[in-house]
Amino acid sequence: QQAVQLLTGWGPCLIDAGGDLCAGEAPRNWPGWPVAVTTPTGVDGDCADLFSLWLVEASLSTSGIDYRRWQHNGRSAHHIIDPRTGCPADTDLLTVTVLLRSAAQAEGIATAMLVQGQEASTAWLEQRNIPAVLVNQAQTIYLTPAMAPAWQQKDIY
C-alpha cells in the first residue's frame, strides 16, 4: 500500500506481492485493473481462474494452503500456522480472498479466516459486511454478500 502511495505520483499503478494485490487509480480509459484469482485444479499443480474483478484504489489478498505444502510424518503440512497450537492450521478451507481498501487489513483477515475455518469465518465476515471469497477443500466456493458487486463470472481480459 505504501508503494502504491509512492508510485501514484507518476500515474496509475498496481502492486503484485504474491498473494496480495494493491491498486491505485484505474488506468486511463479502464474501469480498474483487471485481476483474476485462481484456484488449484488438483492436476499437476495447475490452476484455473476462480473469478475476475476490476481492482481500483483497493487491496485484494488471498491466503491459502494450496501452495507451500509438504509431507511431514505422513501428514500434509503447510505454512499457515495456527497461533493457538503453533502448528499448521487444521482448516477445512483451501483459500480465502478478501477485498478491502487497507492491504494490511485484507492480508490479516484473509489469514485469520483461513485458520478459523469456513463456518466461523463466514459468520464473522457477514456480520462485518466484508467482501470475501472462501474456497473449501472440496473446492466449493462461498461468496459473501458484500463481494457480489465486485465479482465477475465472465473473463474480463
CATH of the domain at 91: 3.10.520.10
pLDDT at 139: 86
Flag whether 155 is in a domain.
no
Residue 39 has pLDDT above 90, yes or no: no
Q: What is the mean pLDDT of the chain?
A: 87
pLDDT at 67: 72
Helix (H, G, I), strand (E, B) or coil at 10: helix
Flag whether 91 is in a domain.
yes
Domain range holding 104? 2-147
**pLDDT, tens digit (0-9, with 9 covering 90-100), for 68-126:** 776 778 877 788 989 899 988 999 999 999 999 999 999 999 999 999 999 999 999 99
- 156 confidence band (pLDDT: 50, 70, 90): low
pLDDT at 78: 82
Which residues pair with residue 20 across a beta bridge? 17, 61
The angle, 0 to 180 degrees and rounded to 10, between the axes of the packed helices 118-127 and 103-116 is 140
pLDDT at 118: 97
Flag whether 47 is in a domain.
yes
Q: How many domains does the chain have?
A: 1
Please give the C-alpha separations between residue 143 and each of 2, 5, 129, in angstroms, as whole numbers: 29, 29, 12
Flag whether 153 is in a domain.
no
Flag whether 6 is in a domain.
yes
CB 77 within 8 A of CB 69: yes
pLDDT at 42: 57
β-pair type (141-143, 75-78) = unpaired
Flag whether 81 is in a domain.
yes
Report, as an integer, the average pLDDT of 10-34: 91
